[in-house]
Every structure is written in structure tokens, then in C-alpha cells.
Copies of this chain bind each other. A is one copy, B any other.
Amino acid sequence: MSDTTGKEVTRRGFITRVGQGLVAANLAGSLLKNASAQLTVPDPPGKKLGWAIVGLGSLSIHQILPAFAKCEKSKVVAFVSGHPDKANKLALRYGVSPKNIYNYQNYDSIKDNPDVDIIYIVLPNGMHAEYTVRGFQAGKHVLCEKPMANTAAECQQMIDAAQRANRKLMIAYRCRYEPYNREAIRIAQSKELGPTQMIIADTGFNIGDPNQWRLNRKLAGGGSLMDIGIYALNASRYLSGEEPTEVNAMTYTSPGDPRFKEVEEHINFQLGFPSGLLANCTSSYGYFPQSHYRVLGTEGRIEMDPATWYTGLRMRLSRRNTIEEREFPEVDHFASEMDHMSDCVMQNKEPLTPGEEGLRDLKIMMKIYEAAQSRQTIKL
């Protein structure tokens, strides 16, 4: 695999199971080789870049902050939070200097802090644009969580601000930075299983607390599609390597459910691509957690289930008379994507998932909503 993740995850490092038996293996050897490869690779520019985390919610606390321990090119050096108690406590745990704790009022003064190279926006969707633009105005590079913003117009403002500031903008599509999804892309586009005929992608979960920001239209921009269905959409695009040209959709939201006063519960969509490839996708805030996709070639299929969770991904390849389970050493998605961003900044490269990638999903999601509303197939 190429090294755009900033880690060498070699194809030698995977385990192959054919049918019921463990075949290729030599797992211990592969893992050792992999580990020693990481130990002997020098940090290219001699140091780690400094990151500021904006927003200290569940994702930051449970995934992003612990991921820095696995980073080779990224270190956490600052927090931006509306909760000083939480920020102070986390600062002690992660060795962040008290002088590097900001709030939303003094956020712009981060421009004077040379410790901070990159800002990671982990706020509710409706705040992404403002805090990204202010980050660029402070002269920093920005990694922003998905979905990029609530509207395509906001996405464009973010892209423009990055250009004006001559800084990098990346959207946190973490699945592009871990080996299972990368291998699925490689296989799908290699035509090893014949040309891809169809992609089926299903992402959703049964959402809890009715008071969370994800269920607030102003903060979330929409419902399941914006938060979780975007994985099915993004996968359809990265697996096909094409941009859809038409879209269809059907939606349903349980009336009277206190969770869904402002945003949609389920929204299913169909995409047509220029090659004739079709995608059939579901998105839900109501069903049992599911993250699943299938790539159907003429001669075989890729099945990923789960496909996009943080851990425990599984890939199965089916061909005539064989089913192969393909395994890779697990990679921390957040560490991998942050190191990619650091690497892009250090080497002045464009990120694999730049602002334009986030904008494309936003434009399509708006058309999915429009298709569901108008009950018509819409050309893109």
C-alpha cells in the first residue's frame, strides 16, 4: 500500500483465511516486521507538529486524544473548550500546558501561539465553518470532522478561507486512512473481481438521548444522513472512484418520537454513476447499529461488515467456490489520519481528503434530501 497514511502497512502484513482454514498466516512474523519497520523509520522532519483540539466532547475524549499516543508526526499541545474544568483535567492527563487552554472567546488569539500548527475541529456540524474559518484567520492548518458543514455554501467559505490563508484543509474521512477500506478500494478498482456492477452500503444506529446536538437541526444540519449515512455515500464514491450523476431517495421519520422533532430518522438513497454502476444505500437513526457494504463485481464480491466502525473491521471476498477472510493489523484511524495531515503540512502536499471532498458529499446530500422531498430522481 502507498504511504499516504504516514505508516507502512504492507500487504505482507495481512492474514488470509480461505474457507474455514487459516492459510497464509505467519501473523506473528508479519506483525513483528511491521512493528520493527515503524521503529526504524525516522520521523522525517525531525519533530512532531502541534495540534489544538477544538471541542472536547465524546469523540475527542474517547478516540482522538488517546490516538495521539500512536501518532508519529502529531502531538496534542492545546485545547479549545467552553468547559474549563474538563479542559484542565484533560490537560493534566495529556500534558497540555495550562497556557494553551483556550475558550471560544479567546480562540482567535491562538494565532500568537507558535506551539500550534494544526487545529482539529471536533464541534457540532453547524459550528464547523465558523471555527474553521477563524482557524485559518489565525494562520493555522485545519482538519475538520465530517460532515464538513451544514451547507455547501459554508463548505465553499471554508475552502476559500484555506486558499486565502495558504493553509491546508482536510476533512476527517478516517476510513480512507486505514487498511481495510484502502484494500477494498484497491480491489474494487483493480477489477480483480470483474468490473464493479453495484455497491450496496448501509450505515446507521439507534440513536439515544433526544437532547443531543445531533438531533438539533441548527447544530447538525440534518439527521441520520449527515451523521452516519454520509459513510454509505462516501463509500459509494471512494469504492467506485466515480461521482454520481443522479439520485433517488425515500425517507421516513416516526411521528411523535421525541428524538426526531427536527431531523430525519431514516433516509435511503440510490445513486447512478457515469459507468452505469448503481449504488443502493440506507441511512438510519432507528435501526440496530450497522456499518456494512458490498461491492459486487461480475466475478466476485467484497463484503465489509463492519465496514466503518472505529475497530473490528472485517473483510470477506467471495469468488466462485471460495470465500476468503482478509485481515490486517488494526490501525488507529484517528492516529493515521492525523499523521497524514501532519505529513501533508510538513511536506506541503494536498491531503487525500481535502475540503473539496467534503463539499462533494454535502452537495450530494442536499440533492438526496431534495429527491426525497420532491419524490423525483434528480440529475446531479
Query: Which residues of B sit under 8 angstroms from A376, Cβ to Cβ?
Result: 375-377
Instruction: For chain A, residues 51 to 101, give those with C-beta under 8 angstroms from any C-beta of chain B.
Output: none
Q: Is A330 an interface residue (CB 8 A)?
A: no
A299 to B286, CA, bound (A): 10
A278 touches B268 (CB 8 A): yes
Q: Is A281 an interface residue (CB 8 A)?
A: yes
Query: Which residues of B sit under 8 angstroms from A299, Cβ to Cβ?
Result: 206, 288
A246 touches B254 (CB 8 A): no
Interface size on A, residues (CB 8 A): 42
Q: How many copies does the complex hold?
A: 2
A287 touches B276 (CB 8 A): no
Among A197, A277, A288, the one with the most B-chain Cβ atoms within 10 Å of its Cβ is A288
Given A280-B281, A377-B375, A270 and B288 contact (CB-CB distance below 8 Å): no
One of B287, B292, B298 near A206 (C-beta < 8 A):
B298
Q: How far is the CB of A197 from chain B (nearest CB, A)?
A: 4
B202 touches A202 (CB 8 A): no
Query: Which residues of B sit under 8 angstroms from A301, Cβ to Cβ?
Result: 287-288, 290
Query: Which residues of B sit under 8 angstroms from A292, Cβ to Cβ?
Result: 294
A282 to B202, CA, bound (A): 13
Q: How far is the CB of A165 from chain B (nearest CB, A)?
A: 41
Q: How far is the CB of A300 from chain B (nearest CB, A)?
A: 5
A349 to B290, CA, bound (A): 42
| Complex interface bits, A303-326 against B, C-beta within 8 A gives 1, otherwise 0 | 000000000000000110000000
Q: Is A248 an interface residue (CB 8 A)?
A: yes
Q: Is A159 an interface residue (CB 8 A)?
A: no
Q: Is A126 an interface residue (CB 8 A)?
A: no
A298 to B319, CA, bound (A): 33
Chain A interface residues (CB < 8 Å from chain B): 193-194, 197-198, 200, 202, 204, 206, 246, 248-250, 252, 254, 266, 268, 270, 272, 276-278, 280-282, 284, 286-288, 290, 292, 294, 296-301, 318-319, 375-377
Cross-chain pairs A/B with CB under 8 angstroms, 7 sampled: A197-B266, A198-B287, A248-B270, A249-B270, A270-B270, A288-B299, A290-B294
Extra contacts besides A202-B280, A286-B298 (9): CB < 8 Å: A204-B296, A252-B277, A252-B278, A278-B282, A280-B281, A287-B301, A288-B297, A288-B298, A292-B294
